């Protein structure tokens, strides 16, 4: 807690007991709730308890609550769902037991779950080759067999180059792309069309892919 009577931002504090801290917090929140609950904003970090914090906020009388979002990890989640059919983090990870080569890109330092750290250690001890694509060589990249120091913000360009080479060499899984992705779908590029920018569909033809009942062309 800040020491009473000091200037804000001076970083002068004194230790207090939990009883004093809770008493101070109770008085301040009670005053806000009695006057205008909407003046209180509640934000919490990644604790997987947003349901409880939301319940507390609604009981308090306001809706100004939020929590750590998924922007920092949505890319990994989406990539693994599309590629492997499952998510990641505490709930799963790449199949390193069956892999011989492992690329890692888009992971900040060592920001991942402990199960992956254990699996990666086992993977390397078993002779697996680990390539890290990261602007800086810290965290996971520090133990990589090969480090690719791309410039920040060029991840997309690098993957487009990968895709170009895979297509040129015809080294991609045609059946997988056809059935499980929208890469084979046509996009309406007619700027005068009301469906401009959307996938072309034909509801009168049989569904070629049960995952896309709207019959994308």
In a domain, 5, yes or no: no
The pLDDT tens digits for 123-172 are 999 999 999 999 988 888 888 999 999 998 898 899 899 999 999 999 99
Mean of the per-residue pLDDT values of the chain: 82
In a domain, 30, yes or no: yes
Q: Same domain for 82 and 116? A: yes
Which of 152, 168, 184 is a domain's end point? Answer: 168
In a domain, 1, yes or no: no
Domain range enclosing 23: 18-67
Q: Same domain for 26 and 62? A: yes
Q: How many domains does the chain have?
A: 3
Q: Region 112-120: what's the mean pLDDT?
A: 78
- Measure Cα distances from 33 to 28, 30, 62, 133, 199 in Å: 9, 5, 9, 50, 50
Q: Same domain for 144 and 207? A: no
Please check the confidence at residue 119 and state whether its pLDDT lies above 90.
no
pTM value surpassing 0.75 = no
Tally of CA atoms within 13 A in the half-sphere of 167 that contains its CB? 9
CA distance 89 to 76: 9
């Amino acid at each position: 807690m800040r020491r009473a009577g000091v200037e804000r931002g001076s970083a002068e504090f004194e230790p207090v007991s939990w009883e004093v801290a809770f008493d101070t917090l109770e008085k301040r929140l009670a005053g806000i709730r009695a006057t205008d609950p909407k003046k209180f904003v509640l934000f919490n970090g990644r604790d997987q308890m947003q349901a409880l914090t939301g319940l507390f906020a609604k009981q308090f009388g306001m809706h100004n609550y939020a929590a750590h979002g998924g922007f920092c990890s949505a890319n990994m989640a989406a990539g693994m769902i599309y590629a492997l059919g499952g998510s990641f983090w505490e709930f799963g990870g790449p199949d390193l037991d069956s892999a011989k080569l492992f690329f890692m890109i888009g992971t900040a330092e060592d920001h991942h779950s402990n199960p992956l750290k254990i699996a990666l250690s086992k993977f390397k001890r078993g002779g697996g080759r680990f390539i890290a694509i990261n602007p800086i060589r810290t965290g996971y990249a520090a133990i990589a067999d090969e480090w690719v120091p791309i410039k920040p913000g060029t991840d997309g360009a690098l993957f487009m180059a990968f895709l170009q080479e895979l297509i040129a060499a015809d080294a991609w899984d045609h059946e997988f792309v056809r059935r499980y992705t929208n890469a084979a779908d046509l996009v309406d590029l007619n700027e005068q069309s009301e469906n401009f920018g959307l996938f072309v569909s034909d509801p009168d033809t049989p569904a070629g892919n049960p995952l896309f009942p709207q019959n994308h062309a």
